[in-house]
Amino acid sequence: MGFLPFVKLGLVANGIIFGSVIALGAIGLTLVYGILKLGNFAHGDYMAFGAYVAFYIVDGLLPRAGIEGAGLGPFTFGFPVLIALPLSAIVVALGAIALDLLIYRRLRQRGASTAILMMASLGVAIAIRGLVQLIWSGDTQHYPRESRQVYHLPMDVRIPPDGLFVAIVAVILVAGVYMLLTYTKIGKAMRATSDNPSLALVTGINTKHVVWWTWGIGGALAAIAGVLLAVVQAQLLPIMGWKFLIPLFAAVILGGIGNPYGALIGALVVGVSMEVSTQWINPSYKPAVAFAIMIGVLLARPHGIFGDSQ
């Protein structure tokens, strides 16, 4: 680890936090990509929508029930965000399933090409962003917050408590997805469908359920990723999801399309690289760094860092 002395450990820590948000988005994206053969350009906007649904719950619904607050323990946000997190996940999961029934299922039944599916997802992405802007305006918003002290660790590492929260939520959810995919019948069926859709069909796997579960998990993870992104960035913007697409896809491609474990590693690599790069280059180039990593991977290992190099 000879380069480590030159790298600020604090940036690595930030990168891991940022990478865990990317991971939650990328795992859902790669599942959808592998199982439905759809590079979902609306995935970032599912995230943004989730963040805004949570904002509505925290800012609009709960205060009416008398539930308000910020600065829960060491965190900037309050208890309402913890309530909004699962609720928003459910809303986006159901929304993702509904959009499949409304749009993608029809296209699949017609035998539409992947380009058509992606095109439709672009339309969905644009529509969601328009809707978010229409409802909540294009201005910056944020969850109610109180400022908090950051943790000071040795070697000049400073971690905001919010970041720790984000990382812990991500670890729990990733572990949950792992258990689901490894041990449950539907999880195995999802992997089988991702591996070989037509064989899954003639094996008798209920691909309809697989599709629902895939969107459900992907949508829920996207919503949570969106809320966590809004927490770490301390703001919500309608464009936040679209902007997040490059790191998301970079992580998915890095890990190999359809491989959720690969997406996790890919997300951490992308997240850490983006943060560490700011030591040398202008931080606003972070998305370009993610893009450069993606192009580098496509050059060196076209099937992802874990993929067969055939």
Partner 1 sequence: MALLEASNVVAGYGETEILHGVSISVNKGEIVTIIGPNGCGKSTLMKAIVGLVRVRTGAVRFRGVDISRLEPEQTVRSGLCYVPQSDNIFPSMTTRENLEMGAFVRRDDFRHRIDEMFELFPDLKRSARMKAGRLSGGQRQMLAIARALMLDPVLLLLDEPSAGLAPGLIHTVFERIRGINETGVSLLLVEQNARESLRMSDRGYVLSGGDNQIEDSGPALLNNPEVGRLYLGG
Partner 2 sequence: MDIGGVIDYLVGFAIMAMIYAIFTLGLNVHWGFTGLFNIGIAGFFALGAYTAALLTSPPPDPEQFEDFVFGGNLAHHDVLAWGIDAWFFLGIAAAAAVCGLVALIIGSITLRLNDDYLSIATLGIAESVRLFFLNEKWAANGSKGLYRIPKFLGDLIPAENYDYLYIVVVLIVLLILFVAVQRAARSPWGRVLRAIREDEVTTAASGKNVSHFKLQSFVFGAMIMGVGGALFAHHVRFLSPLTFDPLLATFVIWAMLMVGGSGNNLGAVLGAFVVWGVWAGTQFLPGVFSDPSFRLLMIGVLIVTIMLLRPGGLLGEWRRIVARRPAPAAGRDATGAD
* Binding region for partner 1 (CB under 8 A): 185, 188-189, 191-192, 194-196, 198-207, 259
For helices 245-255 and 260-277, the axis angle rounded to 10 degrees is 130
Q: Which residues bind partner 2 (CB under 8 A)?
A: 35-37, 39, 41, 103, 106-116, 118-120, 122-131, 133-134, 137-138, 193, 196-202, 207, 210-211, 214, 242-243, 245-246, 249, 253, 257, 282, 284-285, 287-288, 290-291, 294-295, 298-299, 302
Nearest distance, CB of residue 295 and partner 2, angstroms: 6
Return the exposure string of 207-239: e unless at least 16 CB atoms fall within 10 Å of the residue's CB, then b: beebbbbbbbbbbbbbbbbbbbbbbbbebbbbe
Closer residue to partner 1 (CB): 194 or 214: 194
191 binds, among partner 2, partner 1, none (CB under 5 to 8 A by kind): partner 1
211 binds, among partner 2, partner 1, none (CB under 5 to 8 A by kind): partner 2
- Reading the block at residue 306, the tokens are 């874990």
Q: How many CB atoms lie within 10 A of CB 73?
A: 9
Closer residue to partner 1 (CB): 95 or 260: 260
In contact, 213 and 41? CB cutoff 8 Å: no
Closer residue to partner 1 (CB): 138 or 302: 302
Closer residue to partner 1 (CB): 155 or 202: 202
For helices 161-183 and 260-277, the axis angle rounded to 10 degrees is 160
41 binds, among partner 1, partner 2, none (CB under 5 to 8 A by kind): partner 2
Closer residue to partner 2 (CB): 90 or 122: 122
- First CA to last CA across the chain, in angstroms? 30
188 binds, among partner 2, partner 1, none (CB under 5 to 8 A by kind): partner 1
Residue 143: which of 128, 165, 174, 167 has the closest Cα? Answer: 165
Give SS3 for 40.
coil
Secondary element (H or E) of residue 275: helix 260-277
206 binds, among partner 1, partner 2, none (CB under 5 to 8 A by kind): partner 1
